[in-house]
Amino acid sequence: MAFLSVIRRWHFRDGFSIREISRRTGLSRNTIRKYLRSDTVEPKFKVPERPSKIDPFAEKLSGWLKA
């Protein structure tokens, strides 16, 4: 989702105030200001890949479902 793009569009094109954007998104006004000042389009962070919590039990579960 292009969340920052939506915030920038609301402010610059649609003319919403920072307060109104804050109310609609639930983010702090300072966060909205930070996003509007930033040059980047989306924040750059990686979501770590984690194994599923049921992976150790997958064989047993599939056996139960087949029975």
Q: Are 28 and 22 in contact (CB under 8 A)?
A: yes
Q: Residue 34 above 80 pLDDT?
A: yes
Please state, in angstroms and rounded to a whole number, the distance separating the CA atoms of residues 55 and 67. 19
Across all residues in the chain, what is the average pLDDT?
88
Domains of the chain in start order, with CATH, are 3-66 (1.10.10)
Query: What's the pLDDT at 39?
Result: 76
Query: What's the pLDDT at 15?
Result: 95
15: left (phi over 0), alpha (psi -120 to 50) or beta: left
Mean pLDDT score, 6-30: 95
Query: What's the pLDDT at 41?
Result: 64
